[in-house]
Amino acid sequence: MAKDVAEKQSPEHVAIIMDGNGRWAQQRGRPRLFGHHAGAKRVREIVSACPEIGVKYVTIFAFSTENWKRTQTEVAGLMRLFQRYIQREAQDLLDNGVCVRFIGDRVKLDSKLVTMMDNLELSTAHNTRVHLTIALNYGGRDEVTRAAQRLAYEVEQGRLSYKDVDAETLAKFLDTHVLPDPDLVIRTSGEARISNFLLWQSAYAEYEFVDTLWPDFTAEEFAEIVARFGTRERRFGAVAV
């Protein structure tokens, strides 16, 4: 285990629950969407900081399967914001070596947005400097349920036996099948819960809950958290030596 700690100074994969946009706007007497726009602007700085601090994969929670419960105005505003984000950032992401992926259920999303997501994934697929995954209409339970459904279908079709269903096989049916598990999950805004984010994948992740509201989260704070991760001892169920 000591060897593991020494080798893993930087987390390879950091997942972030970007929370607190609404409260940030409220504190300024502005509508919630103002906070979401400010929050979207932080993403660029955080992604750019990754190579220098040794983070290869960064996954951000942009919209959960439960966020449809918000007002129609907020949901529609967020959906427009996602389109605008892709339009504005696509070229920069491409030029900066960022490989972009989306996880979550696309069925409920507007077809224009889905086309933009597909195009961004295709155009950046060859990039390898940083892997940015955006969780959009994502829920951990929904993802595992969809994976179970597809597995069941394979069994029904006779392409797979129920005996082949183990953790490794199930993971291949998850949206994240090409990604390593997150080593570190950060949540901003002071809430200490995971709100249905990467349930399966975070089984052994380290967690950091910070009070900063997402629109105030800086690359410096990100780097500090990542540095703190290097001092943690991960045991994965074994006894420390």
Cβ-contact 181, 172 below 8 angstroms? no
Total residues in contact with ligand IPE, by rule CB under 6 A: 17
**Pairwise CA distance, residues 148 & 68, whole Å:** 23
DSSP 97-126: TEEEEEES--TTS-HHHHHHHHHHHHHHTT
Name the residue nearer to ligand IPE (CB basis): 191 or 220.
191
Judged by CB under 6 A, does residue 182 bind ligand IPE? no
Spatial neighbors of 84 by CB under 8 A, at least 6 apart, are none
Cβ-contact 151, 160 below 8 angstroms? yes
Element housing 62 (H / E): strand 57-64
Judged by CB under 6 A, does residue 137 bind ligand IPE? no
Neighbours of 90 (CB within 10 A): 16
Judged by CB under 5 A, does residue 33 bind Mg ion? no
Catalytic residue numbers? 19, 67
* Smallest distance, Mg ion to C-beta of residue 132, A: 21
For residue 141, the partner it binds in Mg ion, ligand IPE, none, with Cβ less than 5 to 8 A by kind, is: none
The interface mask with ligand IPE, positions 195-214, x = CB under 6 A, is x-------------------
Question: In terms of DSSP bridges, do strands 184-187 and 206-209 run parallel, antiparallel, or are they unpaired?
Answer: parallel
Judged by CB under 6 A, does residue 44 bind ligand IPE? no
Structure-block tokens of residue 157: 């079709």
The interface mask with ligand IPE, positions 72-91, x = CB under 6 A, is ------x-------------
* Smallest distance, ligand IPE to C-beta of residue 140, A: 11
For residue 182, the partner it binds in Mg ion, ligand IPE, none, with Cβ less than 5 to 8 A by kind, is: none
For residue 215, the partner it binds in ligand IPE, Mg ion, none, with Cβ less than 5 to 8 A by kind, is: none
For residue 67, the partner it binds in ligand IPE, Mg ion, none, with Cβ less than 5 to 8 A by kind, is: ligand IPE
Where does 54-162 have alpha helices with state H?
72-95, 111-124, 140-156
Hey, CA dihedral for 100, 186, 88, 31, is it positive or negative? Answer: positive
What residues between 1 and 20 interact with ligand IPE by CB under 6 A?
A: 17-20
- Which one of the spans 21-29, 41-49, 157-165, 174-182 is the region binding ligand IPE (CB under 6 A)? 21-29
Interacting residues with ligand IPE (CB under 6 A): 17-23, 61-64, 67, 78, 189, 191, 193, 195
